[in-house]
């Protein structure tokens, strides 16, 4: 299982068109959403050969470039992964550092939270997983 660009040791994985890194996808969507630039499927359709075989960090970094081109910068990120198994807390620091270094942010500005769905619904039954991300942006100061 790949989460936040970090390989997680697990007997289960997530199935998807790309590398199925739901955490990076949620951050990418949040970056696009902050500037009302559409959504991840619009920018990176799985039919577009340009993105064939692209890793999710490339999607995220492209969205970040679009934010910067609009003259905004990221202040902080707060994310949540909802997954029944495996336990992720031992990976928290590694995931935070990986995202922070790729986005050129201090680790203190990257929050990564985990929760189960308390055994309820498709996520709770271990058939699915979800990720949520909030990103704060601010207009770059005049230089």
Where on the chain is the footprint of ligand C5P (CB under 6 A)?
Answer: 83, 87-89, 114-116
In the bound state with ligand C5P, the residue whose beta carbon lies nearer, of 87 and 140, is 87
Q: Are 61 and 25 in contact (CB under 8 A)?
A: no
Q: What count of other Cβ atoms lies within 10 Å of the Cβ of residue 123?
A: 18
- Let me know if 19 is exposed, middle or buried by CB neighbors in 10 A (0-12, 13-18, 19+): middle
CA distance 75 to 130: 24
- To ligand C5P, the closest distance from the beta carbon of 48 in angstroms equals 32
In the bound state with ligand C5P, the residue whose beta carbon lies nearer, of 64 and 131, is 131
- To ligand C5P, the closest distance from the beta carbon of 14 in angstroms equals 12
Nearest residue to ligand C5P, using CB? Answer: 89
CA distance 99 to 4: 7
In the bound state with ligand C5P, the residue whose beta carbon lies nearer, of 89 and 139, is 89
Q: Are 107 and 97 in contact (CB under 8 A)?
A: yes
In the bound state with ligand C5P, the residue whose beta carbon lies nearer, of 64 and 129, is 129
- To ligand C5P, the closest distance from the beta carbon of 97 in angstroms equals 17
């Amino acid at each position: 299982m790949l989460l936040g660009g970090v390989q997680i040791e697990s007997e289960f994985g997530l199935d998807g068109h790309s590398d199925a890194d739901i955490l990076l996808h949620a951050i990418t969507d949040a970056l696009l959403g902050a500037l009302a630039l559409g959504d991840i499927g619009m920018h990176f359709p799985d039919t577009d050969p340009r993105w064939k075989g692209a890793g999710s960090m490339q999607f995220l970094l492209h969205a970040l470039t679009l934010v910067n081109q609009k003259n905004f910068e990221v202040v902080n990120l707060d994310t949540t992964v909802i997954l029944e198994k495996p336990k992720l807390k031992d990976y928290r620091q590694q995931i935070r550092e990986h995202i922070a270094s790729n986005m050129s942010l201090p680790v203190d500005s990257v929050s990564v939270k985990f929760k189960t769905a308390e055994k309820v619904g498709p996520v709770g039954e271990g058939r699915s997983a979800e990720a949520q991300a909030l990103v704060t942006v601010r207009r770059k100061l005049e230089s």
